[in-house]
Structure 1
Amino acid sequence: MSPKKVAVEVEGRQLALSNLDKNLYPAFTKGEVIDYYVKVAPTILPHLKDRPATRIRYPDGVDGGSFFEKNAPSHTPDWIRTQTLPTPGSSKGRTELDFIIIDNLPTLVWCANMAALELHVPQWKVGPRGAVHSPDLTVFDLDPGAPATIMDACKVAHLLRELLAGDGLDSYPKTSGKKGLHLYVPIKENDRTSEYAKECAERLASAHGDLVVSRMEKRLRKGKVFVDWSQNNPAKTTVAPYSLRAAQSPSVSTPVTWDELEGCGSTSDLTFSPEEVLERVDEHGDLLAPLLDNPQRLP
């Protein structure tokens, strides 16, 4: 085996980890990326389970370019769960792809070793025999348009929380790991999530037009927060809770409390490193655990 490769056994699976000292961020190595995902695995895996994963890979680090990978590459180990799923409207003209489903620690480590820094999943699951289920999550992506910031997204999150509560729904926030916030509503499986999310965004924009925009056009977003409902489209994905994000310093899409959003005084209050996220998990457990076991009925 090459001296740059290390043979490890992970839950009975043999893996060859490579280039562990290579910087994938300016001051964070591939070995540290893998170590983070190993440590956060008990918390992230339930949010990845049964959801086909789109990986964003950075083989030469965050400064070296990236590519989206939906299809399982030809060298994917045969013990990794894959599922052939239709991909209507694919930009590459493929009608179906073999998606990887990250259901266990060896698969998570294998993906991290492939420099898949970011893990994105849809709002629906695949059954044990490959049946595509209806969405069990509704998500809102609160995206501030400069000069608006995540502070403005916090205000919109509270307004959206109140609107959803008026419909009898509890909602749960996380940072995007970049400049915005995501708000999740766990639901009983339902095919109307996209329609409902769009309606909520439009209601919010109608009531708070000085702060909120619900339409896609970028020219409308300056100084406002775009409530992006479109990630409920079954063909789209959202970065998974606890996933790393690509930036100059490693950041994480981090579950937060409503009190933290209320008390946020600056952008740095909602920026979390991998180390900080692991400390938060030790302190709080999984703040998004209700997404796993608290389905609610859409109105």
Structure 2
Amino acid sequence: MGEDKLSILKKNLRNLESIAIAYSGGVDSTFLLKVACEVLGDKVIAITAKSSTYPERELMEAKKFAEEIGVKHIIIVSEELDIEGFAKNPTNRCYYCKKELFTKIQNIAKENKVKHVVDGSNMDDTGDYRPGMIAAKELGVISPLKLSNMTKDDIRNFSKQYGLKTWNKPSFACLSSRVPYGSNITIGKLKMIENAEQFLLDLGFRQVRVRHHGEIARIEVSPEEREAFFNLNTMDKVSEKLKEIGFKYVTLDLFGYRTGSMNEVLTDKQKILNQ
């Protein structure tokens, strides 16, 4: 069944003829880019957006892989904080971000005579509150992985078969997702979050989120990594560093990392109003 999904993906890509991929360097877009280059060759452009919500380490990894496979890679500036209303952090914040991003990618696609804009959304992305997908649909962005019925597990398994280093890369979302809805997003907050998460990654944690609740840092790590915090030396190091970064209080979320934890405060009514 899995092999059929890969065959379907290749067929779907072949039918598109030429594409511009919204490429972040994450698990999904890296796999999509690899397969697309295999199928369409030089009819593929990878486009990465540089902004204050996108950590430097992610940009460097994206650039490195694009160079390795020899794809045309365009880096654009798409500063979300410049979008009217975005910094106020409404519940449909991602809609404005994706609309801006995909509009810019569409313009580049037209300039390069590329027929379609695609993204790395997959079947698992349909289970959470994702207003950005509404913007993608409005602008006609295609999601080949989703159309091929691929789940995150499928993508990781195929990525491993292709020898991609991203096959077991932790999930990542833009840094703005660490700030509670209704709380203003600032470059200062984003920098604090980036520095705090980088410190935890440097300590050896793999799946990391540092949620910015004003003076409080709420750390999420994968459930199996929580045990590492039951070490006084680790707790002292993390607390001291995050206070140095600017937080007054440092806490650990006892449930650990889970996708969309900031959406847990939203009611179904709020989600519907923003769709």
* TM-score class, shorter: under 0.3
TM-score, reference length from structure 1: 0.26
